[in-house]
Each structure stands twice: as C-alpha cells, then as structure tokens.
C-alpha cells in the first residue's frame, strides 16, 4: 500500500484541525516492507500481492511499483484489479513518537487470486506471507510447502486459532496485538513469545532461513536488522543494508 505520513506536534481534538510540520509519501504494507528489507540485506526478493489498476489510472499502484522497482524487488507476481485503487494509509505521528493510522483497502482486492502459484515459488528458497489477503496467499504457501520450502507467516491480521494458514506455515511470527486478538489471552508469554519487531524482522528472519541459518541464528540476525530500523523514520525507506547488520552483530 501507499503510506502518507504527517508529523504533528499533537493529535487534533475532535472537530479540530492540526497543522503538520512535515509530510512525506512512502511505500507501506507488511509484505512490501519485508521485500525491501530482503533486497537491502542482499537477498533476491519477489513480491506477489493484489494492487489496484490498471497502470496509468491507479496512481497509488503506479507509485508503489515504481518505488519497489528502484529497490530491485521483482513485482511480476502483482496482478492489478481494474477500477480499484491500491490500498492507502494516512499516518499521523506526534512529538512523542506515538502514531495514529487510518487505512483504506477496497474489498474487491480481497477477491483476487494468484494466476500461477506454482510458478511463483518455482525458483525461490523461502516464502514470507502476511495474512491480509488470506485467499491470495494460501495457494502460494501450499505450493511452497509442496516444494519443501520454509513458509514464514507474519500474523498481522487478527484471525481464528483454526485458521489453516497456521497449519500450512512452518514458522509463525505474531504481532502482540494480533496474538491477543487471535488467542484471547492477555499474557503474551502464555500465548506465544513475541518480539513485535515488525516487517524488517520478518524479512530478515526469512532471508536468514533461506541462507541456511538455524532459527536461533535467524532470530539474532533479524533482531539486529529490526533494531537498526527502529532508530529510523520512513517505513521501508529506513530498512538497513547488509553491511550495517553485519557490523552490529560483530560489535563487542
């Protein structure tokens, strides 16, 4: 999706206005952010997900694809839905660093399916999926499991414990909010140990698995990548490069 980010001194009260002291537009979305992280960390990243369209009429989607192309992310697996706008978020960040996010996603995007799930995973070493479009990602994840590939699920959207994506995935990484909403438990340790490190963590963790690292080594690599990202504003634009992560891990 496309993120429009406004920085304000404080959030407006009801029926009031607030002036932003800075504004920028950046690519967003769990899978897209993770794909950029993978590319910057030295991996070969391909993104599959539904966008609005067609080209030339959906400026949100055109912007998203152009930005991903500049990062070296292959987007040939992104079908475009005619007459629909690519998802959009307005993000407000106050002086304390707190944020409010308002997202719009046309429900027609949720009906789209991948054209060739088997082809999408034919030359990859691992698959990372989020559950925002479960009907789209399910056949891709199944095709990856048929090849014996690691399938990491970013459980970002609240769901049910019976969700079959949990059965299909080899690894599941929850956000704390989604974990509470899915399990009904407030004790995160009782529900599942979580890190809450975000999209960069997911991308780095999946890349490390694809490179043959153990889960423990993959988590350490991902935590270092996510830690670097946490010090930077700007969504995927703040994802670290491989040399930075390697240097952090090598530091005493």
Is residue 243, in this structure, part of any structural domain at all? no
Is residue 4, in this structure, part of any structural domain at all? no
Asked whether the predicted pLDDT for residue 196 surpasses 50, the reply is no
Is residue 22, in this structure, part of any structural domain at all? no
pLDDT digits (tens, 9 = 90+) for 16-62: 999 999 999 999 888 999 999 999 999 999 999 999 999 999 999 99
Is residue 20, in this structure, part of any structural domain at all? no
CATH number of the domain bearing residue 45: 3.40.1190.20
What pLDDT does residue 197 have?
53
Read off the pLDDT band of 130 (50, 70, 90): very high
Judge contact between 186 and 180, C-beta under 8 A.
yes
Identify the burial level of 64 via C-beta atoms within 10 angstroms of its C-beta, where 0-12 means exposed, 13-18 middle and 19 or more buried. Answer: buried
What pLDDT does residue 190 have?
72
Number of domains in the chain: 1
Nearest to 128 by CA among 191, 181, 198, 189: 198
Is residue 228, in this structure, part of any structural domain at all? yes
The rounded distance, in Å, linking the Cα atoms of 10 and 93 is: 8
The rounded distance, in Å, linking the Cα atoms of 226 and 218 is: 12
| Residue-range definition of the domain harbouring residue 153 | 30-83+113-235
Is residue 246, in this structure, part of any structural domain at all? no
Is residue 95, in this structure, part of any structural domain at all? no
> Tokens 């990062």 sit at which residue?
71
CA 67, 2, 79, 170 dihedral sign is positive
Phi/psi for 147 (5° steps) reads -90, 0
Nearest to 209 by CA among 4, 24, 43: 43
- State how far Cα 196 lies from the chain centre: 13
Asked whether the predicted pLDDT for residue 89 surpasses 90, the reply is yes
- pTM for the complete prediction? 0.85
Q: Which of 32-46, 109-123, 152-166, 184-198 bottoms out in mean pLDDT, i.e. has the lowest?
A: 184-198
Is residue 38, in this structure, part of any structural domain at all? yes
Helices 242-250 and 215-230, axial angle in degrees (round to 10): 110
């Amino acid at each position: 999706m496309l993120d429009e980010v406004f920085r304000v001194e404080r959030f407006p009260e009801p029926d009031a206005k607030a002036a932003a002291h800075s504004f920028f537009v950046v690519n967003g979305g769990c899978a897209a952010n993770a794909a950029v992280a993978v590319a910057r960390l030295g991996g070969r990243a391909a993104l599959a997900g539904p966008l609005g369209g067609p080209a030339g009429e959906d400026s949100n989607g055109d912007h998203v694809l152009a930005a991903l192309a500049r990062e070296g992310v292959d987007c040939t697996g992104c079908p475009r839905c005619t007459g629909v706008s690519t998802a959009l978020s307005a993000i407000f960040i106050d002086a304390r660093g707190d944020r409010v996010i308002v997202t719009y996603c046309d429900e027609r995007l949720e009906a789209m399916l991948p054209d060739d799930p088997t082809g999408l995973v034919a030359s990859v070493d691992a698959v990372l999926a989020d559950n925002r479009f479960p009907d789209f990602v399910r056949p891709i994840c199944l095709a990856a499991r048929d090849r014996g590939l690691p399938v990491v699920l970013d459980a970002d959207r609240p769901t049910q414990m019976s969700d079959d994506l949990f059965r299909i995935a080899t690894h599941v990484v929850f956000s704390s909010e989604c974990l509470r909403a899915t399990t009904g438990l407030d004790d995160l340790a009782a529900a599942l140990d979580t890190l809450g490190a975000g999209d960069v963590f997911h991308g780095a963790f999946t890349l490390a698995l694809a490179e043959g690292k153990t889960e423990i080594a993959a988590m350490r690599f991902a935590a270092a990548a996510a830690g670097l990202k946490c010090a930077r504003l700007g969504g995927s634009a703040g994802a670290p490069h491989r040399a930075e992560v390697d240097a952090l891990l090598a530091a005493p």
